[in-house]
Structure formats: C-alpha cells, structure tokens
Amino acid sequence: MNYEPYRPRRFSILPEVVKNLLILNGIMFFATYVLQKRGVDLNDILGLHYFEADKFRPYQFITYMFMHGSLGHIFFNMFALWMFGSAIENTWGPKRFLTFYILTGLGAAIAHYLIVYFEMHPAIAVMDQFLANPTTGHLGAMLQSESFRNLTSPDIVSQLGALSDAHGSDQGQAIPVAVDFISQLRTQLLNAPVVIGASGAIFGLLLAYGMTFPNNVIYIYFALPIKAKYFVILYGLLEFFTGIAQASGDNVAHFAHLGGLVTGLIIILYWRNRHKWRKF
C-alpha cells in the first residue's frame, strides 16, 4: 500500500477513526447485553472460533475485535484505544492508522489460533483415528494418549473407561456409545475456544506508541512513571511469561496480545524500510 506523508492540520483529542471505533465497540457491547436478555449470545456468533469448529465463520476475523465480555474488558480496551490511538492517528493519519489497527487485530487472531492448533491437534488426531476406525484397540489407545488426557478432564477419561468396562466383552454395545460420546466431545472441544475483544489491536497500538514516542512518559496506575519504550518491553515480557505459565482459570488470550504486538512490529519495520513515512 502506498501512503503519502501525512501532515495533520491540527491535533485532535478524539480523531475520526478512534471516535468511530469507540462508538462501534460501544454499540456492539450494548447490543450484546440487550440480545443476551433475549437468549441470543452475540459473542458466540461474532467471536472468533477455531477454524475447524462448525461455528467458525470467516467474518469472525473482523467482528471479534468489536466484541467484549464485560464492562471492565471494554473499558480498559477503549481507554487504551483513546490514550494511544489518538496520538498515533494524529501522527499517521486515519488511513494508515485504520490499516494498522485491522492488520494487528488479524495478526493477533492468527497467533492465538496457531498456539491453539498445536495444543489441540494431537488430541483431535487421536479422536479422529478412533472415529475413522472405532475398535477397542483405538479406544484404548485414545484413552492412554497423553495429548487426549491433557486436553480433556480426568472425569471424561474415567467415564469412557467405565463405559468399556461395564460392557465387558460385549463391545458391540460399548463401541457405538463411545463413538457417539467422542463425536459430541470433539464438537464441543472445537467450538470451545472463542476469542473476543480489541486487545490484540490495542497491543499493536501500544507497540506503535512506544516506537513513535519512545521517550514519552506513561504513568502506571496514574502514579508510577515509565518511558513508553520500557513500558512496551516490560508489558510484552509479562504477557509472554504469563502465557507460558498458563495459570489455572486464566482465560486471557496472552498469545493473541503478543501476536498483535509482533504484527505491529513487522508492519512498522516494513513501512520504515520502504520509506513510506517520514517520522516515528
């Protein structure tokens, strides 16, 4: 893409793209709340599902960025969008800013589901092997598979083991029941991962802010001053180690955040090397 150097006419505290993104996110959050009262889960429809799931739709790569799960979730994302995005849009211009925002959101989604793929694929492959050739041998191999045990709960493994033991030698009854159970379990597992939120794109903006205004001071919790370049590095490292740790009950897509940050870095370095702007 070719961009002419942007010369802002004046600094705007709420530039056009940021303003419209804030409005759109607010509308979608309100719609989610209203429709939920009527039994419609908009996050499930517009959130980004795993690409092998039957609930996956290509448009979810865009719509997921405008969905949020709680008031706190949308507040902090929108505050960061305004705080960092306004400065970036005023400097880059609306076209480059919007391009960057969308691309980093896409990069975040791809990074997250690459991690999910490597986590889920071995177990799904074992399940597919059993479903393609449902024998007692494949059932036993699936139950003994470490990848299957890691992806599912001990209760599920116990249920399948008890099912086989209960029918004893009469596997003619056990196998059809196991096939039905595994088919439903496979569908549930593939549909379970769903990403919502603008956080991936926000991390891209944070990276852009740190590279564009590296010595600007950010106040953590409005009290602790730190230069933007150091804040980006520390926050990125925190996300990386938190993602590796995978604490129990942590439902934050840390690698989506890192994906947005890394995608932003790649885009900025590409634009810089192509001399498509004059100032960072």
Task: Please say if the pLDDT value at position 1 is more than 60.
Answer: no
Task: Please say if the pLDDT value at position 161 is more than 80.
Answer: no
Residue 113's DSSP bridge partners are none
| Residue 160, C-beta contacts closer than 8 angstroms, at least 6 positions apart | 139, 143, 178, 181, 182
Express each pLDDT in 229-254 by its tens digit: 888 888 888 877 777 776 555 567 77
Which two tokens mark 195? 């990403």
- Yes or no: say if 60 and 47 are a contact pair by the CB < 8 Å rule: yes
Task: Please say if the pLDDT value at position 280 is more than 50.
Answer: no
> How many percent of the chain have pLDDT more than 90?
47
Task: Please say if the pLDDT value at position 277 is more than 50.
Answer: no
pLDDT value for 172: 59
Express each pLDDT in 70-80 by its tens digit: 999 999 999 99
How far is residue 60 from each of residues 16, 45, 46, 268, measured CA to CA in Å? 24, 8, 5, 25
Considering only 13-27, 115-129, 170-184, which range has the smallest mean pLDDT?
Answer: 170-184
For residue 93, count other CB atoms closer than 10 A to its CB.
19
Task: Please say if the pLDDT value at position 119 is more than 90.
Answer: no
Name the more confident of 249 and 63.
63
- pLDDT band per the 50, 70, 90 thresholds, residue 171: low
Task: Please say if the pLDDT value at position 20 is more than 90.
Answer: yes
Distance of alpha carbon 263 from alpha carbon 266, whole angstroms: 5
Which two tokens mark 93? 């211009």
Most confident of 114-118, 162-166, 173-177: 114-118
pLDDT value for 138: 82
